[in-house]
Every structure is written in C-alpha cells, then in structure tokens.
Amino acid sequence: MAAMYFIQRHPLEDLLPSQPPEPGADHLTVLLRPTVFSAFATQAESDGLRTLQGVSARSCSPLEWLLISEDLGAQALGRSLNTAGLRWVDQSHAYVVVRLRGPNARAILAKGVGADLHPSVFAVGQSANALCGQVQVNLACVGEDTFELAMMRSYASFAFQDLMLGGKEFALTAAFEGRS
C-alpha cells in the first residue's frame, strides 16, 4: 500500500498576499492556529468558563460555549476542562478565527452582519451567533473596535471575501497573525 502524505494548509492561504501589507487603520488578522473547543456547561458551570486564564468563552446557545485560546494548546485546555468536570469537543481543525480591528470595524461588519453592533448594545465581552453574508459565524466583541469571528473552515473564504469587500472603502488590510 502506498503511503499518503497530507499537507496542512490554511483555507485562506491562497487569498492573502505572500508579502503582507503594512497594517492599515482597519486590519483583519487571520489567526494561524487558535485552539477552539465546544464546551457544554450548565449556568452554574459556565461561571468557571469565564475565569479560565488565556481563554475567551463565548455563549453559543443556552448550554453550549465556544472557547477560543491563542495561549493554550488543545491538551492544556482539555485538562483544565476535565478538571472542572465539563464535557467538551476539540473543534480546532474545524474553525477559522479572524480578528477585525480599527475605527471602522463596526461599519465594515454592519455591511454584512444582521445584528445591532452599536456599542451600547454589543459591548466588549459580548458574543452572538450571526450570519456574515451567508456564512454562520460566532461574533465576539473582544475590545473597543475589535471583533473576532469564528467560522467553519469550509466557509471561511466566503466570509473573508465578504469582509474584504465591505472594508474596501476603508482600505481594509489583511494578513496572517505574526506576518504583518
């Protein structure tokens, strides 16, 4: 039997320039390898999710949370969740996470996201499941004028192209994390 070799490629690799531009005022950063888990927690257990160091916990439904970390690997996060007695699934290879930041981030998102993004309604620390164009995303406000969108990798190119088109009038730039 012949050996098969697989090359792991990021789904947005062909859409980003090999020589990244200088980040503009509005910039889309594609996270290279974030750890993404789905965790299932009751209301009482969910308080513990919000206190995990280096992890952003986002509500997806009444009992489901999306956990995203740039600091912890899958094994470390899994151990933390096991210690807390929570049920979880590693979704790292299934998701793409992008971070949109800049003074026009809300205006860019408003072109394709059907949610009220006004700061008094969608403040730092809030998240929601929404459509970005026609792609289901988990949208989180992670800082003032900074948002993260987590989406299934098979649809990432569509959402990426919609975001770039929406940011064209603001000279939106994009690059992989650490390459800008």
- pLDDT tens digits along 128-140: 999 999 999 999 9
Edge-to-edge order in the sheet of strand 127-132: 127-132, 135-143, 146-152, 95-101, 27-30, 173-176
Q: What is the DSSP string of the chain?
A: ----------TTGGGS-SSPPPP-SSEEEEPSS-EEEEEE--HHHHHHHTT-TT-EEEE-SSSEEEEEESSS-HHHHHHHHHHTT-EEEE-TTTEEEEEEESTTHHHHHHTTB-S---TTTS-TT-EEEEEETTEEEEEEEEETTEEEEEEEGGGHHHHHHHHHHHTGGGT-EEEETT--
Q: What is the mean pLDDT of residues 7-20?
A: 83
CB 105 within 8 A of CB 132: no
- 137: how many CB neighbours lie within 10 A of its CB? 28
The average pLDDT across 115-134 equals: 94
Task: Tell me: pLDDT of 10 over 90.
Answer: no
Q: Letter for the amino acid at 145?
A: D
Residue 45 has a pLDDT of 83
Q: Which domains are assigned to the chain?
A: 24-174 (3.30.1360.120)
- Please give the model's pTM, rounded to 2 decimal places: 0.90
Residue 179 pLDDT grade (very low, low, confident, very high; cuts 50, 70, 90)? low
